[in-house]
Amino acid sequence: MFCRYCNHLQAPTPDYYEFFALPRNLALDPDDLQKRFYAMSRQFHPDVFTLHSEQEKRYSLEASSILNDAYRVLRDPISRAEYVLKEAGFDIGEQRGKDVPPELLEEVFELNMALDELRSGDEDVLPQLDQMRHNFVEMLHQIDRDVEEQFRRHDAQATLDQRQAVLSEIRAILNRRRYIRNLVGEVDKQLTARNA
Amino acid sequence: MSTFQIDFSSAGKKRIVGIDLGTTNSLVAFMDLTGPEVIPGADGSLLLPSIASLNDDGTFTVGNDARRLLIDRPARTVYSVKRLMGRGVADVQDEVKLFPFRIAEGSESVIRLDLGGRSFTPPEISAQVLRELKQRAEAYLNEEVTQAVITVPAYFNDAQRQATKDAGRIAGLEVLRLVNEPTAASLAYGLDKRNEGVVAVYDLGGGTFDISILRLHEGIFEVLATNGDTHLGGDDIDNRLLSIALEDIATEWGEDVSHRGDAVQTVRRAVIEAKEALSTAPAAQIDVEFQGRKYQREITRELFENLIRDIVDRTLGPCRQALRDANLDPEHIDEVVLVGGSTRIPLVRSAVETLFRAKPHTELNPDEVVALGAAVQAAILSGDVQDKLLLDVTPLSLGIETMGGVVSKLIHRNSTIPASATEVFTTSVDGQQNVLIHVLQGERELVKDCRSLARFDLKGMEPMPAGMARVEVRFLIDANGILSVTARDLRSGKEQSVEVKPSYGLTDEQVEAMIMESYEMAEEDFKARQVREARVEADNILAAIEKAKANDAWLDLSDEERQGVDLALNELHVVYHGDDHNLIRDRIEKLDNATRRLAENMMNSAVRNALKGTKI
């Protein structure tokens, strides 16, 4: 069972989808994934190999760390999509989340103004900031719905090229998502700093 | 209480014990046919106070006997050493002021306690407690015990875990698993039999606080999030009461006794008694008597609760954070379990109830439940319990130092362990052959705000232009929550050697040296025991001869025979107080030979007497 991972130091990190014996789909049933995770945990976990040979203990440690890493990445839709993008050769570096998406230019400008005013001690902008934060969080929810939609579209494509095209769209959505999430994070940071 | 499916088919193999190495008390438990059981000591008590006191001959007195020595020789008697495990001197400046024992000069990354001129590290002190528990288990089970599961606070960092493992090794125990205390407690409760659900375990012990949130599903105990404070517990409450009482006493007696170890320990004992009484009574008395002087003060529960409210409130922040990390609201929690002696305090119970909106479980003794859980985990490891599996998490994020003193996170907190991360490093200078990697644990962004774990030196890289070398480093946190690092050169594919310099811990060589020392100590212990046993044997034969001399049989001996016995008696008396057990045994044997005729005579006369009274 472990032979595939015996020579782990030479082998690249195994593919997470292969590890779970799952087709390369972006939409995954979380209950099914959890079931597989629990069953494989019972199989691989170091507790099961405590009194076995040193070699078997090492394999079990290796296999269960891969299992846990794979589960952590695949169970969250966003990190799952990022993983698939990366494996498909897309660049998903943080840098891509730093350019302002054109359709958000106005909102971002207003937000930065409000944050500046807050920093200079003007508390009157608080209700406005709150409203802006709310709007951005709403956008995130909408994006998450869009992403799921795109996941299903991706999975329905017949050829690799077609899938690649959808992935490219998903990447754009994820970049937008990351940008907005950073904005919300910035607002939260300012508000906590003010409260502290 | 749950039932356990136990498979003892593999009977005859070595037994693994479960140990709760607590701040205040420690316990050892094992899996019996009916379920986990705490093993009592010779005096019948289940709790072994985690106190060790250094004797003049270099041995330690541990447990209840050591507790009595807190007052007689405070400078050599160590308590709450768990708070010093895996820590540096700078970390503990504040609380060391309250300890009567001193930190040795020259302690750096590892604290050394100066006990009357000899210095000991916290793992060595903990090893004394563990050794006592090991002996307790061996005496009770009547077999050698060499393997154990030891519990640690869930929020313990790498250094604190490593220090606990070191303590086990020094005590002669192979530590098969470190298991988190709240998780162990949930195993003992076996809540999985009744519930598929989400459980919060609130563990407030003597020195540490943990909160863990678990999902239970068909025997799988999956920790979703954990949080805590390794410096928050009953000790803080004791210290609060203690400083108030000491101030009071200074006013009343006109003398500040806070620098006197024996006085402080006397007052400490008194405030702890009052604290414990307040868990059930509406008021209690702090009652101090010290060298003829008295101090008394009544304390109501209301006053007590006002004094400690901020300490109890400090546990709530970590609880909320754990909920957030688990992505849950309080109403998602199906069950709450209370662990640790400090959860007997009514204010603590009501705070937990308010936060989680659930009545907490208290069926199992909060002092014993962690040890019982450790025994269950031991049985899982031995294969005796097969339906349960624990999936725990790492409590703190792991990262490495990058440019500008910023920490780049590689493994996030609450990741299920074992967990790993891989990172590729290169050189910044032409011909560079070493790369130093600084590993940290913590949630903050800057190196100075995180806990330094270790520096790993990648050595012997091929000299190459800057930026050309590529070394892949793999960070692996094992099921104990302990980090290991491996590296390989991506160009040659060769394994790269990694030299580890722990920031707050002992090196492997230091631990080995301590193990050797403890073997020597164990040998000395063994010798002392043999001398004691020889003396007991001598006592028996001396008493028997004393009695025989009053018997007619003594008079039946010849003068020569009587002189021979007296000579042998004298010779035994001469060596009796020496420390050579072989010599004592030799003289016992000689005396035995010299009295053979006497014994025969006595036997004969006994037989004659017996026959006289019997009608044939």
Shared-domain flag, residues A182 and A109 = yes
Using 50, 70 and 90 to split pLDDT, how confident is the model at B610?
A: low
Shared-domain flag, residues A134 and A49 = no
Residue with tokens 């060595």: B124
Contact B52, B60 (CB under 8 A): yes
Interface predicted TM-score (ipTM) over 0.90: no
Q: What is the mean pLDDT of residues A82-109?
A: 77
Does B314 or B521 have the greater pLDDT score?
A: B314
The percent of residues above 90 in pLDDT, for chain A, comes to 36
- The Cα–Cα gap between A13 and B422 comes to 9
Domain boundary (A24, A45, A75) is at A75
Interchain proximity A13–B382, CB inside 8 Å? no
Closest Cβ opposite residue A9 in set B419, B479, B488 = B488
- The Cα–Cα gap between B566 and A70 comes to 83
Site from B420, B424, B492, B497 to mutate, A interface, most A CB atoms within 10 angstroms: B420
Does B501 or B214 have the greater pLDDT score?
A: B214
Contact B367, B25 (CB under 8 A): yes
**Active site positions of B, annotated:** 20, 82, 181, 203
Site from A32, A42, A47, A59 to mutate, B interface, most B CB atoms within 10 angstroms: A47
Which residues in chain B are contacts of A13 at CB distance < 8 A?
422
Q: What is the pLDDT of residue A9?
A: 34
CA distance B198 to chain A (A): 15
What token pair was written down for B19? Answer: 């140990």
Which residues in chain A are contacts of B18 at CB distance < 8 A?
none
Residue with tokens 């037989």: B607
Q: Name the packing angle between helices B559-576 and B508-548 (round to 10°).
A: 150
Q: How many CB pairs under 8 A join A and B?
A: 59
Closest Cβ opposite residue B418 in set A10, A38, A65 = A65
Interchain proximity A68–B416, CB inside 8 Å? yes
Q: What is the pLDDT of residue B519?
A: 66
Class of domain B510-612: mainly alpha
Contact B480, B161 (CB under 8 A): yes
Q: B390 at the A interface (CB within 8 A)?
A: yes
pLDDT above 60: residue B111 = yes
How many domains does chain A contain in total?
A: 2
Interchain proximity B383–A72, CB inside 8 Å? no
Which residues in chain B are contacts of A71 at CB distance < 8 A?
416
- Helix or strand (DSSP H, E) at B528: helix B508-548
DSSP 8-state code for residue B374? H
pLDDT above 80: residue B143 = yes
Residues 68-107, chain A: which have Cβ within 8 Å of B? Answer: 68-69, 71-72
Contact B471, B496 (CB under 8 A): yes
pLDDT above 80: residue A5 = no
* Alpha-carbon distance values, A48 to A64, B91, B189, B193 (Å): 11, 38, 21, 21
What 3-state DSSP class applies to B394?
Answer: coil
Shared-domain flag, residues A58 and A104 = no
Contact B77, B51 (CB under 8 A): yes
Does B612 or B298 have the greater pLDDT score?
A: B298
* Amino acid type, B552: D
- Helix or strand (DSSP H, E) at B77: strand B77-78
DSSP 8-state code for residue A22? -
Closest Cβ opposite residue A69 in set B419, B493, B495 = B419
Using 50, 70 and 90 to split pLDDT, how confident is the model at A16?
A: very high
Interchain proximity A69–B420, CB inside 8 Å? yes
What 3-state DSSP class applies to B435?
Answer: strand
Domain residue extents for chain B: 16-232+314-391, 234-310, 398-505, 510-612
Burial of B29 (0-12, 13-18, 19+ CB in 10 A): buried
pLDDT above 60: residue B3 = no
Using 50, 70 and 90 to split pLDDT, how confident is the model at B194?
A: low
Q: What is the mean pLDDT of residues A184-196?
A: 74
A10 assigned to some structural domain: yes
Which residues in chain A are contacts of B222 at CB distance < 8 A?
38
Q: What is the pLDDT of residue B359?
A: 85
Site from B17, B178, B180, B220 to mutate, A interface, most A CB atoms within 10 angstroms: B220
pLDDT above 60: residue B11 = no
Interchain proximity A46–B479, CB inside 8 Å? yes
What token pair was written down for B337? Answer: 């379990």
Shared-domain flag, residues A44 and A125 = no
Which architecture does CATH list for B16-232+314-391?
2-Layer Sandwich (3.30)
Long-range contact pairs involving B10-16 (C-beta distance under 8 Å, separation at least 24): B10/B382, B10/B383, B10/B384, B13/B382, B14/B143, B14/B144, B14/B145, B14/B146, B14/B147, B15/B141, B15/B143, B15/B145, B15/B147, B15/B382, B16/B147, B16/B148, B16/B149, B16/B176, B16/B378, B16/B379, B16/B381, B16/B382
Please name the fold of domain B398-505. Substrate Binding Domain Of DNAk; Chain A, domain 1 (2.60.34)
Which residues in chain B are contacts of A68 at CB distance < 8 A?
415-419
Domain span at residue A36? 3-75
Using 50, 70 and 90 to split pLDDT, how confident is the model at B147?
A: very high
* Alpha-carbon distance values, B215 to A87, B187, B327, B595 (Å): 32, 12, 12, 74
Domain boundary (A47, A75, A103) is at A75
Interchain proximity B220–A41, CB inside 8 Å? yes
Of B161, B162, B217, whose CA–CA distance to B193 is shortest?
Answer: B217
Interchain proximity B422–A13, CB inside 8 Å? yes
Q: What is the pLDDT of residues B230-240, one digit of tens each?
A: 889 999 999 99
pLDDT above 60: residue B252 = yes
- The Cα–Cα gap between B512 and B170 comes to 8
A89 assigned to some structural domain: no
Residues 28-47, chain A: which have Cβ within 8 Å of B? Answer: 38, 41-42, 45-47
CA distance A82 to chain B (A): 16
A83 assigned to some structural domain: no
CATH of the domain at A25: 1.10.287.110
Q: B178 at the A interface (CB within 8 A)?
A: no
The percent of residues above 90 in pLDDT, for chain B, comes to 43
Residue with tokens 């725990």: B392
What token pair was written down for B57? Answer: 């001959």
Contact B505, B163 (CB under 8 A): yes
What does the mean pLDDT of chain B come to? 87
What 3-state DSSP class applies to B57?
Answer: coil
Q: B215 at the A interface (CB within 8 A)?
A: no
Using 50, 70 and 90 to split pLDDT, how confident is the model at A10?
A: very low
CA distance A174 to chain B (A): 21
DSSP 8-state code for residue B231? T
Does B304 or B110 have the greater pLDDT score?
A: B304
A84 assigned to some structural domain: no
Shared-domain flag, residues A143 and A181 = yes
Spatial CB neighbours of B574, under 8 Å, sequence gap ≥ 6: B587
What 3-state DSSP class applies to B590?
Answer: helix
Residue with tokens 């104990």: B480
Does A172 or B493 have the greater pLDDT score?
A: A172
Interchain proximity A9–B217, CB inside 8 Å? no
Shared-domain flag, residues A9 and A46 = yes
Shared-domain flag, residues A63 and A100 = no
What does the mean pLDDT of chain A come to? 83
- Helix or strand (DSSP H, E) at A179: helix A160-195
Q: B39 at the A interface (CB within 8 A)?
A: no
Of B187, B209, B211, whose CA–CA distance to B369 is shortest?
Answer: B187
* Alpha-carbon distance values, A42 to A38, B189, B195, B440 (Å): 6, 21, 20, 31
Interchain proximity B416–A71, CB inside 8 Å? yes
CA distance B279 to chain A (A): 35
pLDDT above 70: residue A60 = yes
What token pair was written down for B368? Answer: 């014993």
pLDDT-wise least confident of B210-214, B259-263, B468-472, B499-503: B499-503
Using 50, 70 and 90 to split pLDDT, how confident is the model at A53?
A: confident
DSSP 8-state code for residue B104? P
Q: What is the pLDDT of residue B524?
A: 65
Does B469 or B244 have the greater pLDDT score?
A: B244
Q: Which residues pair with B419 in a beta bridge?
A: B477
CA distance A42 to chain B (A): 7
A88 assigned to some structural domain: no
- The Cα–Cα gap between A145 and B201 comes to 35
Residue with tokens 């070191």: B166
Q: B47 at the A interface (CB within 8 A)?
A: no
How far, in whole angstroms, is CA B377 from its chain's centroid?
A: 17
Shared-domain flag, residues A101 and A188 = yes
Other beta carbons within 10 angstroms of residue B534's beta carbon come to 23
Most confidently modeled range among A106-110, B151-155, B404-408: B151-155
Does B6 or B405 have the greater pLDDT score?
A: B405
Does B352 or B108 have the greater pLDDT score?
A: B352
Q: What is the mean pLDDT of residues B235-254?
A: 90
- The Cα–Cα gap between B533 and B133 comes to 22
Which residues in chain B are contacts of A41 at CB distance < 8 A?
220, 389, 391
Shared-domain flag, residues A53 and A118 = no
Q: What is the pLDDT of residue A98?
A: 62
What token pair was written down for B7? Answer: 């498979």
Shared-domain flag, residues A114 and A46 = no
Interchain proximity B381–A51, CB inside 8 Å? yes
Using 50, 70 and 90 to split pLDDT, how confident is the model at B75?
A: confident
Q: What is the mean pLDDT of residues B183-212?
A: 85
Which residues in chain A are contacts of B382 at CB distance < 8 A?
50-51
Q: What is the pLDDT of residue B4?
A: 55
What token pair was written down for B127? Answer: 């090893």
Contact B450, B440 (CB under 8 A): yes
pLDDT above 50: residue A11 = no
Shared-domain flag, residues A117 and A190 = yes
Please check whether the domain covering B234-310 is classified as CATH 2.60.130.10. Answer: no
Interchain proximity B220–A66, CB inside 8 Å? no
Q: What is the pLDDT of residue B548?
A: 84
DSSP 8-state code for residue B115? E
Residue with tokens 């069972």: A1
Contact B237, B245 (CB under 8 A): no
Contact B204, B342 (CB under 8 A): yes
* Amino acid type, B112: R
Beta strand B209-217 with B197-204 is antiparallel
A82 assigned to some structural domain: no
pLDDT above 90: residue A35 = yes
Interchain proximity A9–B389, CB inside 8 Å? no
Using 50, 70 and 90 to split pLDDT, how confident is the model at B446?
A: confident
Burial of B13 (0-12, 13-18, 19+ CB in 10 A): exposed
Interchain proximity B381–A69, CB inside 8 Å? no
Domain boundary (A22, A46, A75) is at A75
Interchain proximity B381–A47, CB inside 8 Å? yes
Phi, psi angle pair for B234, to nearest 5° = -55, -30
What 3-state DSSP class applies to A183?
Answer: helix
Burial of B94 (0-12, 13-18, 19+ CB in 10 A): exposed
Burial of B345 (0-12, 13-18, 19+ CB in 10 A): buried
- The Cα–Cα gap between A53 and B604 comes to 64
pLDDT above 80: residue B26 = yes
Greatest Cα pair distance in chain B: 112
Of B439, B455, B427, B345, whose CA–CA distance to B396 is shortest?
Answer: B439
Q: What is the pLDDT of residue B28?
A: 97
